[in-house]
Amino acid sequence: MPGARESIPPISQKDPQQWERCLAYAREHAEGPVEGLFAQEGMVRRIWREGAMLAAIPPAVVLEVLLPEVAEGVGKFSDYQTKLMARTRRTVYATHALVFGDLSMSIEVGERIFQIHERVRGSISSRSSVTRRGERYRANDPAAMQWVFATLVKGALTTYEAVVMPLDRGERARFYEESKRWGAVVGLPPEQLPLNWESFERYFERMVEERLELGEMARDILRVLFGPPYMRGAARLCAGLLPERWRSAVGLPWDAEAKRAYERALGALRGARHLPPALRYVPAWHQAAARIEAARGGEVSRTTRIVQALDARGLIPAGLAPPERIMRKSPGG
């Protein structure tokens, strides 16, 4: 999440009112206080519970920063250059908290994200876009938030279908409709979003073809993101999951060797489909299962008890413990 590093204009009253409206929508459509925003077997949790879905985050980040206002906000307000690993952990934690947390956790994380983004505002510089230089932006502007939301929705579906199994139109539509709940809890008004799955797809394609730019700021961000040696494999996987027109454009390898590496990576990820749920699904999903089962008076499985114990000690990076606890126990945090 961005952290302020320069003087910030006063916050208007419009944004807090925006979040309150969104919060009302999220509460109305949530599955329940214990369950959280989503049903345990609903489409959102069905997709994000897969451990392989961590591969969906880098392509979403690439597409996000190709929107000039997002690149400008990340470039000027984020600590990504010096704390890339810590930022990645916070992103993964926020995703899991919104998807698998109980309702109070999801709302708390959503509000924190919204409040941090309140400080991210200014003018687009020529390093982000020559043609849009001087335009005002704010991170909580619904149009900017809509694109960030879209990259995660589309990225999740693309990755799931590449790694796990194809989905039919109805399943994609349900995933999109459910996802509006986590969009609302971070302050994205549902009425801002395309009405249905078909209109969402048209919106996404129009953005990819007409609105995205690769400015100097975006290049700098992507250079830092894919610069570390441990990100080379992720870069090839990311390239294959991006829309075709942006693969080579953003500087990711996409020659014959890169394509072969991409297919090998997909093969390895697909192998996870044959693992038992204890190893296949992210720890946060098991924690949600334990929480719901305990609330119903049922017996919590041994697997979920182990996950809970490890997460309470900050020993797993994909659970529901605050990331600060994890980062105190590992280097690079």
pLDDT beyond 70 at 237 = yes
> In angstroms, how far is the first alpha carbon of the chain from the final one?
14
For residue 264, name the pLDDT band (cuts at 50, 70, 90): very high
pLDDT beyond 90 at 307 = no
pLDDT tens digits, 188-209: 999 999 999 999 999 999 999 9
3-state secondary structure of 180: helix
Alpha-carbon distance of 35 to 290, in angstroms, equals: 10
Alpha-carbon distance of 162 to 171, in angstroms, equals: 15
Q: 149 forms bridges with which residues in the sheet?
A: none
Query: Could you give the C-alpha distances from 103 to 13, 109, 176, 217, 281, in angstroms and in order?
Result: 25, 10, 19, 36, 21
- Whether 6 is covered by a domain: the verdict is no
Query: What is the span of the domain harbouring residue 269?
Result: 15-327
pLDDT score recorded for residue 309? 75
Kindly state the DSSP code that residue 133 receives in the 8-state scheme.
Answer: T
pLDDT score recorded for residue 327? 36
pLDDT score recorded for residue 329? 40
DSSP per residue, 271-287: GGGGS-HHHHB-HHHHH
SS3 content of the chain, % helix, strand, coil (to 5): 65, 5, 30
Of the ranges 11-20, 91-100, 257-266, which one carries the lowest mean pLDDT score?
11-20
Kindly state the DSSP code that residue 208 receives in the 8-state scheme.
Answer: I
DSSP per residue, 104-132: HHHHHHHHHHHHHHHT-EEE--TTT-STT
- Whether 5 is covered by a domain: the verdict is no
- Average pLDDT of span 218-230: 89
Q: Which residue has the higher pLDDT, 310 or 154?
A: 154
Structurally, the chain folds into a number of domains equal to: 1
- Whether 35 is covered by a domain: the verdict is yes
Alpha-carbon distance of 1 to 86, in angstroms, equals: 10
- Whether 78 is covered by a domain: the verdict is yes
Rounded to 5°, angle at Cα 175 from 172 and 177 = 110
Q: Let me know: does 139 contact 27? Beta carbons within 8 Å.
A: no
3-state secondary structure of 265: helix
Burial label for 274, CB within 10 Å (0-12, 13-18, 19+), is exposed
Length of the chain equals 333
For residue 12, name the pLDDT band (cuts at 50, 70, 90): very low
pLDDT beyond 70 at 244 = yes
- Whether 4 is covered by a domain: the verdict is no
Structure tokens, 185: 């809890």
pLDDT tens digits, 290-303: 899 889 887 777 77
For residue 87, name the pLDDT band (cuts at 50, 70, 90): confident
- Whether 9 is covered by a domain: the verdict is no
- Whether 298 is covered by a domain: the verdict is yes
Q: Let me know: does 287 contact 308? Beta carbons within 8 Å.
A: yes
Alpha-carbon distance of 173 to 198, in angstroms, equals: 8
pLDDT score recorded for residue 65? 95
Q: Which residue has the higher pLDDT, 11 or 235?
A: 235
pLDDT score recorded for residue 315? 63
- Whether 273 is covered by a domain: the verdict is yes
pLDDT tens digits, 23-44: 999 999 999 999 999 999 999 9
Choose among 193, 155, 192, 164: nearest CA to 177: 193
pLDDT tens digits, 111-157: 999 999 999 999 999 999 999 999 999 999 999 999 999 999 999 99
